[in-house]
Structure 1
Amino acid sequence: MSAYDIFFAPMVDYGFMRRALVACLCLALGSGPIGVFLMMRRMSLMGDALSHAVLPGAAIGYLVAGSLSLTAMGLGGLVAGLSVALLSGAVSRATVLSEDASFASFYLASLALGVLIVSLRGSNIDLLHVLFGTILAIDAPALTQIGAITSLTLVVLAVIYRPLVAECFDPGFLRAVGGRGPLYHVAFLLMVVLNLVASFQALGTLMAVGLMMLPAAIAQLWAKNLPAMLAVAVGTALVSGYFGLIASYHLEIASGPTIIMTAAILYGISIFIAPSGIARRYFPRPHLKG
């Protein structure tokens, strides 16, 4: 078997593989930068909580549509994710609970509720599709939705980039100059939920956060400044998507988990060989002697 047969033939011969690859490209462009900002703002676990928070809305969309309608499930997931984000923020401000504790509570309740809703009228196969996604079943309307979310994300990030960076590194300064930090925070949370909805359509609720946080963690190990981190995160997510699809095709295994596992392998390698990894820290290069 030649290199062409391994790496290119599946994309050339099958339309569903090309659509899956385009979906991975869109997710890389949108979720990669979002993941970097989540990590810089120390909100990594919040992203995971929100990825599970979309499940009840997606499950209700599934019941209303009567089938695995990605449009209905996406809209339901968007409403559920935004509701959990706003409710968690309100509870943390009205009680002694911290925001992460509030998110964790809502996340557990949402996950349980979503599984119960799907199990009311669906089969085990339907539940697996909701939880782990069906990226190879992405059709043109779903691809359009994912592309639209990615385009909106890039536009919004470009508009709020500077205040978002200021809030990451010095939120006190942003408050001092009247920078409307809460407004940017809400806009950012909206982008997080939208990208989780896009990822959910391809990777399922359990895997949706994978292409958001793993590339961001890899980027932090390899890059020293924010623009470089954004570029590395996008590139890593795209590489993971491409090689994950190729591996799943030849090995005949689930595509979504294979994509995330590819990103996890890249993360494991980066831990050892990246500039900020273990090897450079414990086995530094000797300095040149004059």
Structure 2
Amino acid sequence: AGEAMAHAITPGIVIAFVFTGLSVTSLLVGGLAAGMAVATLSAVLSRTTIIRGDASLASFYLIALALGIFILSAAGSAVPLRSFLFGSILGLDDESLLLLGVVATVTLVSFSWLLRPLIMSTCDPAFFELQATRPWVTDQIFMVLLVLNLLGAFKTMGTLMAVGLLILPATAARCWAVSITGQIGLGVLFSLMSSWLGLCISYAFPDTPSGPAIILVAGFIFLSSTLVGPFGFGRRVRLRPLKADEPRTGASV
């Protein structure tokens, strides 16, 4: 869903850029409108037809991405959007920092009461459908928060890289922790480390966009976690001798 929504907001942001330039407010409104339109249309299509939710979301985000690229090509404004697509530490003005603070606050407050139903809908969707009065509300609120976070990250990360910071730290955390709270805590820690180190690299090398720099650090943390984490490749290596000894133990008994 994260990658799909990152592409789904493209036409709204491009249209806002063509008419208003790199105005944070206009880009936020345009991207939010495009993202919510794609999320709503895919939800309606999956609930009223035989098309599954993932297929409908993929279809609409591909259409939205193609529409955004078409509008961008027709307007001939690809060059000024380089820092927007890939991120730039120089694009962090007061308005962008305020947007990040508002998005972070809204996300934390929303997750304080959304976390339990979201975990339930992820782990056991059938049970959640039976227990919840309106199960689709949880999915829609999550989509809104996802779009807001993608829009909040576009100045630093760029729209093409923002989804990486949503996926890589969380995936790396699964190699170290079993519990949900442990994975959330480590995911936040890995995100902070990736952002700080990536921004330092981008500041030290001005020609390096901040988005790819942050994602490269997050990717290094992810690969390291899969290699040395207790629930990564190391777990399989440790369990292999135990499985080899099981027949011998049974034979001796």
TM-score (structure 1 length as normaliser):
0.78
- Establish whether residue 239 from structure 1 lines up as the match of residue 193 from structure 2: yes
Shift of 1:166: 1.9
The DSSP-based 3-state class of the residue aligned with 1:202 is: coil
Deviates more, 1:117-126 or 1:78-87: 117-126
How far apart are the structure 1 equivalents of 2:132 and 2:61? 32
Q: How does 1:21-60 map to 2 (within 5 A)?
A: 46-60=1-15
How far apart are the structure 1 equivalents of 2:107 and 2:183? 17
Shift of 1:285: 9.4
CA contact (8 A) 1:214 1:264 kept: yes
CA contact (8 A) 1:136 1:255 kept: no
Q: What residue identity is the alignment partner of 2:209?
A: A
Deviates more, 1:166-175 or 1:101-110: 166-175
Aligned match of 1:280: 235
Aligned match of 1:208: 162
- Kindly provide the CA deviation profile for residues 81-125 of structure 1, in whole angstroms up to 9, marking residues without a partner as x: 011011111122233322112122222221121122223334332
Q: What residue identity is the alignment partner of 2:95?
A: P
Shift of 1:68: 1.4
How far apart are the structure 2 equivalents of 1:208 and 1:157? 20
Rg comparison, structure with higher value: 2
Q: What residue identity is the alignment partner of 1:138?
A: L
Aligned match of 1:261: 216
Q: What residue identity is the alignment partner of 2:107?
A: T
CA contact (8 A) 1:221 1:277 kept: yes
Aligned match of 1:198: 152
- Kindly provide the CA deviation profile for residues 16-36 of structure 1, in whole angstroms up to 9, marking residues without a partner as x: xxxxxxxxxxxxxxxxxxxxx
Aligned match of 2:179: 225
Q: CA RMSD in A?
A: 1.9
- Kindly provide the CA deviation profile for residues 220-258 of structure 1, in whole angstroms up to 9, marking residues without a partner as x: 111100011111111101100111111222234221110
Shift of 1:263: 0.3
The DSSP-based 3-state class of the residue aligned with 2:153 is: helix
* Percent sequence identity over aligned pairs: 40
Q: What residue identity is the alignment partner of 2:119?
A: V
TM-score (structure 2 length as normaliser):
0.88
Aligned match of 2:245: none
Q: What residue identity is the alignment partner of 2:149?
A: N
- Establish whether residue 62 from structure 1 lines up as the match of residue 13 from structure 2: no
- Give the direction of change, closer, same or farther, for the CA distance of 1:221–1:282 in structure 2 (3 Å limit): same
Aligned match of 2:96: 142
How far apart are the structure 1 equivalents of 2:73 and 2:83? 12
The DSSP-based 3-state class of the residue aligned with 1:192 is: helix
- Give the direction of change, closer, same or farther, for the CA distance of 1:176–1:113 in structure 2 (3 Å limit): closer
Aligned match of 2:119: 165
Unaligned runs of at least 5 residues, structure 2: 243-253
Shift of 1:179: 4.5
- Give the direction of change, closer, same or farther, for the CA distance of 1:248–1:125 in structure 2 (3 Å limit): same
Give the number of equivalent residue pairs.
241
How far apart are the structure 1 equivalents of 2:161 and 2:128? 34
Aligned match of 2:72 in 106, 111, 118?
Answer: 118
How far apart are the structure 1 equivalents of 2:216 and 2:64? 25
How far apart are the structure 2 equivalents of 1:114 and 1:51? 12
